[in-house]
Amino acid sequence: MPQFSIALSMATKGLNHTVEHLFRKEYGKLVALLTNRFGASHLEQIEDVTQDTFLKAMKLWGYQEIPDNPTAWLYRVACNGLLDTFRKEGRMDLISDDFQFPEKEKYTLNEISLENIQDSQLRMIFACCHPNLSQEHQIILSLKLMGGFSNKELADALLKKEEAVAKSFTRAKKSFREKVKMIQIPVQMGLQTRLFQVLKVIYLLFSEGYSATTGTQFIKRDICHEAMRLALLLRENKYCKHSNLEALLALMCFHASRFDARMDADGKLVSLEHHDRNQYNQELIQIGTFHLERAGDNDMMPSQYHLEAARSFYHSTAKRFEETDWKNILQLYDYQLKQQFSPMIALNRIVPFEKVHGAEKALKALNELTQKTDFEDSGLFYAIKADLLRTLQKKSYESTLEKAIALTENELVKQYLRTKLN
């Protein structure tokens, strides 16, 4: 896996992110199609052959045109590679009795229609969220296999160390092979019991795309679009209709509506305060509002998706930054923290708290928060603290901002913080 990550990084630099984009877009499709066809017991070989296929693509597409249908090319090469692996290992007996072993030339482009891809991906994500697997394994499998997440991205998303994530993934694959026999969409009760975990996977997928924690891109739209597509696929199933799904769709629409305003013409990060709000996608805001209204059709306690969607609604609909309804946003944060304490939610709450109560009280609240949680390795913590110190004209502003820069791993965010320092 490390060699694959290095090769991907090198190829990405040479192809202006084209390979990375294709990797993000196609990796989950390929794993889902192959697992759906060959079964969960071959997951190890499927993952290996998928990575080998992308390495071949990097070598070829570095000096050749990318095929019109890259999914078809990748699928065909991966299938052929998997067949060769089975033949070399003499492990034909491991293939299920009802599997018809075709010749290589019988793999045609017709096998990977949009319907087949969608069906395979839904099957795979529900299989990854099988109740026989621990919740941690469900999340790690889904994001690694469906989202193509690196160990670093997973570690940041789950607030874990990379080494721990790597070990968990190895154990998760073993459990998956042993406990998940069938790759299929479960019937009504199975769908409903796994739905909340599937929504969590989609949320984490979108979150990484919306604010990438590492690399040279801040927004990875392809990841966000994939998360939204999966959510819309769920919505088409009558057993998956739920207010949480509607709220998650609203949240993603409101966030996505601000994509164009978050970067300037030179590809630099633009803070919320300086957004050109004429660039906000009004159609997505309307769609988000529709889903948010649909999410409030029952008397259930609002989920984190409801609360975050509501906060994003206020940001997306404010005509000017100064007109943002910070009081309501702060109340939504407070309500969410009463439901369940989260260090990151508490940290982000400091921003609206400062808008309502001032920088001095906000700095005091931030210092009190450090008594509950260790933010020593959090670049965001030091960035928020630096803003407060700057407003209060404290001398420690620059040293605090330097800590934020040192701990930030996304190059565009580093660049943005440096402009504050200068």
pLDDT in tens, 17-43: 556 666 767 888 888 888 888 888 888
pLDDT band with cut points at 50, 70 and 90 for residue 304: very high
Can you give the pTM of this predicted structure? 0.80
Tokens of 206: 């979108």
Q: Residue 409 domain-assigned?
A: yes
Q: Is 18 domain-assigned?
A: no
Answer yes or no: is pLDDT of 176 > 90.
Answer: no
Per-residue pLDDT at 8 exceeds 60: no
Which range has the worst mean pLDDT, 145-149, 184-188, 293-297, 327-331? 184-188
Highest averaged pLDDT of the listed ranges 22-26, 59-63, 115-119, 150-154: 150-154
Question: Does residue 33 contact residue 79 with C-beta atoms inside 8 Å?
Answer: no
State the residue range of the domain holding 390: 350-422
Chain CA centroid to CA 261, Å: 20
Q: Which two tokens stand for residue 98?
A: 């009802």
Identify the pLDDT of residue 91: 63
Report yes or no on 230 lying in a domain: no
Tokens of 232: 């819309």
CATH of the domain at 386: 1.25.40
Quote the percentage of the chain above a pLDDT of 70: 83
SS3 130: coil
Using pLDDT thresholds of 50, 70 and 90, give the confidence band for residue 189: low
Predicted confidence at residue 353, as pLDDT, reads: 98
Looking at residues 323-352, what average pLDDT do you find?
96
Which of 14-23, 123-132, 222-231, 278-287 has the least mean pLDDT?
A: 14-23
Q: What is the mean pLDDT of residues 358-376?
A: 94
The CA-atom distances, in angstroms, between 28 and each of 112, 196, 221 are 13, 20, 16
In a domain, 391, yes or no: yes
- Is residue 405 a part of any domain in this protein? yes
pLDDT above 70 (res 122): yes
Residue 45 lies in a domain: no
Spell out the residues 6+ positions from residue 150 whose beta carbon is closer than 8 angstroms to its own.
5, 214
Alpha carbon distance, N-terminus to C-terminus of the chain: 39
Q: At a CB cut-off of 8 Å and minimum separation 6, what does 335 contact?
A: 302, 307
Higher pLDDT, 206 or 16: 206
Per-residue confidence (pLDDT) for residue 238, from 0 to 100: 80
Element (H, E) at 314: helix 304-317
Lowest-confidence region among 21-35, 225-239, 363-377: 21-35
- Residue 185: predicted pLDDT: 56
Burial of 259 (0-12, 13-18, 19+ CB in 10 A): middle
227 assigned to some structural domain = no
Q: Provide the pLDDT for residue 103.
A: 44
Q: How confident is the model at residue 314 (pLDDT cuts 50, 70, 90)?
A: very high
How many domains does the structure of the chain reveal? 1
Mean pLDDT of the chain: 83
Residue 364 lies in a domain: yes
What does the pLDDT look like over 54-112, one tens digit per residue? 888 888 877 777 777 787 888 889 988 888 888 887 765 545 444 444 444 444 444 55
